[in-house]
Structures are given as structure tokens and as C-alpha cells.
Structure 1
Amino acid sequence: MATPLPSDAKPSAPKRPVLRRWSTWLAAAVVIGYGVSVAMHWDDRGLLWVKERFLSQTEQRESIWLPAYEVDIDAKPLTGMEKDEASDLSYNPITKTLFAVMGKHPFLAELTLDGDVLRKLPLNGWSNPEGVAVLADGRIAIVDERDHSLVIVSVDKDTQALNIADFPSYDLGPSEDQNKAFEAIAWDPLRQRLLLGEERPPALFSWSTDGRSALTGEKQPLPSDELDLRNLSALGIDPRTGHMLVLSADSNMLLEINEQGEQVSFMSLQGGFNGLKKRIPRAEGVAMDDQGTLYIVSEPNLFYRFKKP
């Protein structure tokens, strides 16, 4: 015979459906995770990572092959540029130095390959210089994102300042997003062309030139379907293979693109990858020298160098 409940006892509450609750949370986490992975292009990076695993040693040697690089100068401050914004970087094969453009307070800085500052050249008349590319015979191309312009200057060992009115300027035309316009530029000596990149949505263009003469004709669009990046910060060229380097600060990613516009390899800019102690805060410039050494600058004034072991 069952024992009767005390008169003041309350019936016990039904047990919460723990399994159903956890299933709901798990499903929500999967949906959110998938959405984030698509937005961050982790799905595309995963496919490229798988593709990389099937490249032969010969194919790797014929490419830049970013997975093989290790940082050997990690987040070195550019002396005296703490309040500036490092916006791009380019290698000069004649002087064996680097030229960096600073956007917040416009000037051009010449650096050693170890990231030491040799000199700073004020850019008088520029609004927001964001891209720089060393051409031929001491000529340097500078892209101003705010003015949608490309100016080609001449620099030698005695240059102390640059005045925009002294040099030819080229109109880059309107962009889909006028506030996120042309930001990237690189010189491709193998194909005798300038490469130009819009920040958002990422898009590529080329402008034929021998690097010495005045620009003629118009810029031409290039296939940009492989630029599955949140933004395009900078462009570089490997002078040995002609492959393109595409840098994205928002995606924390560096891509290698071949002559067909296809992704070949990539490198994460997060801490723990390629020897980096911490994430590169905001990677804005990339360059590669004729030995295959890779250089990156980050806002506000950080310098990185990567080499293959």
C-alpha cells in the first residue's frame, strides 16, 4: 500500500528535456559556425589546404609556396613611425632596399632589408597614399585611395621630398565603393604591366607599361573570381615566377595567385602559423625580393620578414 504524501507536499516538476535542449544548442552552433566559416572564407581555405596537399614537390618548387615560409623578423617597430600608418611596401632591386608608403602623415620611407629606416621623404600634396610600387630607372608609382589617382615619381639618392605637382598623375576612375577604392599596386616586370587592386569588393586590373615611359591607354580588368577575401589590402609580385601575392588585412590572409588567376597556396597571418608569435594586427603591405624573401608591414609601424628554411 502506497504511503500518502504529506498534505503540504507539492508534486515534483517534470524534468527538463536536457537532450532536446542540448540538441537545439548544438544545431544553432552548427548553423552559426557554418555562417562564420562562409563569411571568413574558411571553407575556401579548407579546400585550398586540401588542394595544396596534392601538389608535387616539382609544383611546389615552381611556385612561391607560402606554407614553407617562417618568420625571422617578427613585429619589429619601424623607428620613429609610431604615430603613422604603414600602408604598403615595395622592393627596389637596384638599391636592394624597400620603400614603404605611410598614409596617415603622407611620406615615403626607405628601409633596409632588416627593417631599419634609412630616410623619410615627405609626400607634399597627397591626401591618402595607400599603395607603392618600384618601377624602372628610379621611378616609383604611388596610389592615392582618396583621390583615385596614380602618380609616378622619380627618386634618387639625393631626393629629400616629393611634390605631387612635379609629376604626371593618372585618374583611376570611379570604384564600386568610393570609400574603399584603389589601394593596391605592384609592378610585374615579366609581363610589363602594373597591377592594381580595389579594396572592397576585391577586384584586379592591369595597365600595360614598360616601367619607364608614360602610361598610355586604359587599365584593363583581370579575373577576380579567386579573390574570396573580405578585402584587398596590397599586391606583390614574385620576380622569379611572376606569381601574384594578394594580401587581406580583414581576412588575416596572404594568397598566392598564378598567371591564370588561380589560387596556388596561402598563409595565415594568425599567431601560431609560420612561426608568428601573435597575429599580425593589420597587414597593409607586402613585397618579395629577387631571392624570394617575403616582407610585410602592418599598421601602425610593424615590420615582418619571412624566409624559407
Structure 2
Amino acid sequence: MVRAALHSSRPLYKRWYLWSLLVLLIGYIVAVVLHWDDRAELWVKEWTQSSAQRKASVWLPDYKAVIDGKHLPGMEGDEASDITYHPGTRTLFAVMGKNPYLVELSLQGDVLRKMPLNGWSNPEAVATLPDGRLAIVDERQHQLTVVKVDPTTRELNIADFTPFDLGPSVEQNKAFEALAWDPRNQRLLLGEERPPALFSLKLGSDGQPTGEKQRLDAPDLDMRNLSAVTVDPRTGHRLLLSADSHLLMEYDETGKQWSFMTLLGGMNGLKDTIPRAEGVTIDDEGTLYLVSEPNLFYVLRKH
């Protein structure tokens, strides 16, 4: 009787063991797909920051969404690719990557004007320069073009400007997708999408890019891809955005990580996960503005 009972329990034990392994395997796959493995390490790093360090940083965990996924009308098929804050006009400028446009937005995400980018192929990044001009990166053409936009501008023609050749990238189809002005060091920061990497690029006396881009020495970026970069004018810290990892991360100039924000629904006041966050900028008061494909707009403020 005892032997029979033990014998009959073995298949149950084997099934339980196999089911346990299957559950663990599924859990691991889900964790990797949702990047929980990345975030667990980031949370541990974040817990080690002191209150003084938090005050000296942007400190992304304190931000909450105040405009959550506002639709930009008429741009459903344009694919919002990046956004920059313009202190001179106190407005925002965004580039659309699929159908090349430059769009001026109010700080509440209202469309003020939509300007065709004639001659651009795939504009993926935009940054505001100190003199008020805009720099636009075309990922497909590997070019950076500095343009002037005034209140009368209704369209831009690349033939009217001088594109700067950014050179090759590791993956030609996943090239330079992030751009920001670094006011403390008076240079442009240029980001390569995959594998994620940052470069610097100087402007000459004529306000045009000059020289070779220089790769910045920094630890490996804890993200699957680099979608956008912006620099906080108050701290000099860099905010790096990853659409694939659903993360916004804060680094200082040495590459040290200070804080991060996960862009999943239920976090930081977001009702739903930001589907594909492609652009981020920060204004002089610390307000964050994000755009996501296809045509979504977000504002987050510190609370």
C-alpha cells in the first residue's frame, strides 16, 4: 500500500515540478520583455541617494503627469520624433519623422503652426541653440542642419541652409536620433540610437557645426536604445530617453546615474503606458515635456 501510494505520487510531483519551471520561465521572459531586470537595478541605485543629492538633481521620481497623452490634431500619421523648449518664444518646437514637419506648440500642447520641412527625409531630433536658431538632425541622411525660424516662417527648404555631415554610425538605420544643447560646455550633445552612445559637437564662430564629433567617455548606458536627450539648464544634468526601455534617466556630466522615471501606466501619474516616447525637453523651471508616436503630448511637473 505504501509503495503504491509513493508510486502514484511521483507523476503528481513531476507535473508540479514541470509546472513550476514553466511558471518561472514565463516570469523570466515577461521580466525581460518589460525590462523589469533593468528597473530592479535602477531602483537599488536610486535608494542609495541621500536627500542632499536628491535636492542637487532633477530627481525624476518626484514628477507627476499634468497633461497625459494629449493628441496633437492632424498628426496621427506624422510620428512625433522629438521636442525642444525655446526660451525666446516660450513655446515648444517638435519634429515629425515620417512626414517631415516642424511644429510649434504652446506649453499646453496646442498647435500654433505646422511647417513643412522640404528636402528632409527623416527628421528625428531638434534642439534650440543659444541664439534662438534650431538644429535639426535627419537620421536617414546623417545630417545636422541649423535653421532660423521667425514668426513669419511657414515652411523650411533645406536648400536654403548648409547641412553638416555627421558621418557613419554603427548601425546605419539606427543612427543619430538625439540632440540637445549643453549650455555649460557650449556644445551640442548628439545621441546614437543603437547601441546607445553620446557624442559632443562644437559650433564655430559662424554658429555652424564644426570639426569632428567626439565620443563622450561614460559608463554604458542602462537602456535598450537612445531616443532623445535634453540638458537641465539648472543642474547641467542630462536626461536620456529610451522608447524601448520605457525609461527616462538622469545622468551627470561624468556619466553617474542620479535618478530615473519609468514610463509605464500607473507610474508618475500616467494613466497608461507611454506607447513610444521619442522626444523630451525641459524648460528653465524644470517642467518636462514629452512626445510619443504617433501624436501624443505629455507634461510632467515636480510635486
TM-score of the pair, normalised by structure 2: 0.92
Cα deviation for residue 44 of structure 1 reads 3.6
Does structure 1 residue 174 correspond to structure 2 residue 168? yes
Cα deviation for residue 23 of structure 1 reads 2.2
Cα deviation for residue 25 of structure 1 reads 3.0
1:251 to 233, 245, 249: 245
- Residue in 1 that maps onto 2:89: 95
- Residue in 1 that maps onto 2:107: 113
- Residue in 2 that maps onto 1:234: 228
- Residue in 2 that maps onto 1:275: 269
- Unaligned stretches of 5+ residues in structure 2: 1-6
Cα deviation for residue 214 of structure 1 reads 1.9
Cα deviation for residue 157 of structure 1 reads 1.3
- Residue in 2 that maps onto 1:53: 47
Contact 1:76 1:302 in 2 (8 A): yes
Percent identical: 63
1-structure distance, mates of 2:156, 2:121: 13
Alignment of structure 1 residues 77-226 onto 2, 5 Å: 77-209=71-203, 213-226=207-220
Q: Which has the larger radius of gyration?
A: 1
- Residue in 1 that maps onto 2:57: 63
Q: Which residue identity is paired with 1:228?
A: D
- Unaligned stretches of 5+ residues in structure 1: 1-12
Contact 1:229 1:248 in 2 (8 A): yes
2-structure distance, mates of 1:287, 1:87: 12
- TM-superposition CA deviations, 1:104-155 (whole Å, max 9, x none): 1111001110000111111000000000001022211100011011111111
1-structure distance, mates of 2:273, 2:189: 27
- Residue in 1 that maps onto 2:68: 74
1-structure distance, mates of 2:259, 2:216: 19
Greater alpha carbon shift after TM alignment, 228-237 vs 110-119: 228-237
Cα deviation for residue 32 of structure 1 reads 5.1
SS in 1 for 2:199: strand
1-structure distance, mates of 2:187, 2:259: 23
Contact 2:49 2:258 in 1 (8 A): no
TM-score of the pair, normalised by structure 1: 0.91
Contact 1:256 1:265 in 2 (8 A): yes
1-structure distance, mates of 2:16, 2:205: 62
SS in 2 for 1:52: helix
Cα deviation for residue 215 of structure 1 reads 1.8
Query: Per the alignment, do residues 41 and 77 of structure 1 end up closer, same or farther by CA in structure 2, a change over 3 Å counting?
Result: closer
- TM-superposition CA deviations, 1:140-195 (whole Å, max 9, x none): 11000110111111111111111101112111111111111111111111111111
2-structure distance, mates of 1:36, 1:260: 33
2-structure distance, mates of 1:150, 1:293: 27
Q: Which residue identity is paired with 1:134?
A: T
SS in 1 for 2:258: strand
Contact 1:192 1:211 in 2 (8 A): no
Does structure 1 residue 18 correspond to structure 2 residue 12? yes
Give RMSD over aligned pairs: 1.9
SS in 2 for 1:216: strand
Cα deviation for residue 80 of structure 1 reads 2.1
Query: Per the alignment, do residues 103 and 223 of structure 1 end up closer, same or farther by CA in structure 2, a change over 3 Å counting?
Result: same
